[in-house]
Structure 1
Amino acid sequence: MRPIHLAVGKFNIDIIVKLNAFPLVDSKVNTDVMEIMPGGSATNYSVAVNRLGHSAKLLAKIGKSPLVSALLTPLAEEGVGLDFLIECEKKPNMALILLRDDGSISIVRRTDPSLLPSLEDVKKYSGMFDVIHYASISHDIIYKDPSAKIVSYDPGPYASEYEGEEVDILYVNEKEYESLKTKANAKIVVIKKGKEGAELIGSEECKVEALKVNVVDTTGAGDVFDAAFNVSYINTGSIEDSLRFASIAAGLKVTKLGGVSSPKLEEVVKMLKDVNINVKCR
C-alpha cells in the first residue's frame, strides 16, 4: 500500500500570464502565455506526491465557482483525494502570476482568511496519514499527529508569525529562515535557495546543489521540493538521498509551466541516473 499524505492549506485558481513589462495607460500588449490552472501550495504538493509514487489527500476550503469545479477535475484525474474539501459560500482564492522570460515570477493574490481549514478540521482525520504537510497557512492550525511518521510545515508568507510549534521538518527559504531561526523548533530544517540549491540543518548539516536547467516557470518549485523530500525520506530514511531526489524534482518542475506541473517518478529516477547532484554533509 502506498504511503498516504494529507496536504493542509489552500486551493487557488492560478492565472498565469507572461508579461515582461506592464503596458502603458490605454495601451495593449500581447502575450503567448495565458493559462488558468489549479494552484496553491497544498494543491501543488498533493499533485507532486501522487506523481512521485505516494498518495495524497487535500484538506482545503474552496469557494463556490464553476471555475473551481472545472479545475478540480484535473486534480481528481491526477489521483488527488478531494473528499476532504470543504465548500464555502465565498469567492475562491485566486492568484495572478506574472511570469517573465527568465522564469521569475511576481504574484498578485486575492486570499480570504476564512478559506483556510481549522485546527478542528485537521484533528478529525488524526491517525489516518503517514505524512501531514502544512503549506502556506498559519501556525495555529498545526496539529502534530502522534501517529504520523512525518509532520512538516512550510509557512510561506506566514513565516513571520511562526512561534516555534514543534514539527519534524520545517521548510523555508533564506529570507524566511533569517526571520525565524531562533524559533525553528524542528528535527530537520530545510532552507531552500533556488538556483543555489538547498541547505539542511538537523543531526547533520548538508548542502545540495541545484539541477542546472533552462528555467520556464518557478511557480511551485518549493512545493515540489517539499513533496519530493518527504516522499524520499519515507521511502529511504536517508537525508542525502532525499536532498538529491528533491533537488532533481524541483529542477525538473521549473522547466514546465504551472505549479501543478511536477515531474513524474520515472523522470526523476532517469535524471538521478543521468546527472550527478552533489550533496555534502558534515
Structure 2
Amino acid sequence: MPLILQSTAPLSPADLDTARTLARASELVLRSETVAAAEECAPLTPALRDALDDFCGPRAIDWAVVPAGRKLSDFHLVAMDMDSTLITIECIDEIADFCGLKAEVSAITEAAMRGEITDFNESLRRRVALLKGLDASVLDRVYEERLRLSPGAERMLQTVQALGLRTLLVSGGFVHFTEKLKARLQLDVTRANTLEIVDGKLTGNVVGEIVNADVKARTVQEVCARIGATPDQAIVMGDGSNDLKMMAVAGLSVAFRAKPVVRTQASVAFNHVGLDGLLALFPH
C-alpha cells in the first residue's frame, strides 16, 4: 500500500529517510517540495500508526497509507461536514457571540464534538435555546464577517468537480449557511438544520428532523444511491464525533484538524495540510 507524506513546508531528505525506515517503505519519491510518496510500506499496525504519529506530528508532516491501485476519479462523491471542516468556524458559537454567550455555547459544542455529550440532538437544542430572541440578521453578519473557507477548500472542490465527482455538504449546523455555500461553491447537495424564525427573531427552536450522526450517515448513503454509486465510492471529510458514522460507511474517511476520537478512526488525518491534501493521496 502506498505511503504518502505531505507538509506545508519543504520535506527534508533526513525526515524522508527516517519515515521510510519507520514504515519499512520503498523509496520515498518527491512529487513536489511538500509531497513525497512510496509505492509500498509495511502493513499499517497500531504500532506503526503510533510511530508515524510520534515522528511526523512534531515536524508538521501529515502521513497517509492509502489503498493501492485507486485513482481519485474512481470515487463518485465527496461528502463534507461544514463547521470546522469546510469552514474554519463553528457557526453556532459565532451566532452566540452576538448575545454574549459564546463561551457557554462553545463549551457545549466542544464537548459534543469530542464525544463527551452523546445525545447530539439534546446538545443542539440546548445551544439553540440560548439564542432565543436574537435578531435573525445576525446570521448574515456571521456569514459575511466571520465565515472563512478552510485552507485548500476551493482548490480541492474545483479539482474533484472537474473530475466529475459529486459534492455533498451535510451539517449539524444550519441551512442559512449551507445554502449560501452551495451557491458559492457550486455544491450538488446540502443538508442541515433549520432555525425557526418568527417576526425576524430566532425563537430558540430547530424546525424538522435534526441532522445528527445517524442522519448524516443516511444522507451519504441516499446521495450515493441517487447518483448510482456505492458508499465505497464516497470520500467523507469531518472533524467531530458527529461525523464518525458517515465516515464509517465511506470508502475513504478524512479527519480534518479533528478531535482525537475522530483521528484514530479515520482512514487519513490532515492535521497540518489543507483540504486539498486529498489531491495528493491518489493519481487523478
Pick the TM interval, shorter chain: 0.3 to 0.5
- Larger-gyration structure (1/2): 2
TM-score after normalising by structure 1: 0.35
- Which protein has greater RCO, CA pairs closer than 8 Å, 6+ apart? 2
If each structure's strand is expressed as a fraction of its own residues, which one has the higher value?
A: 1
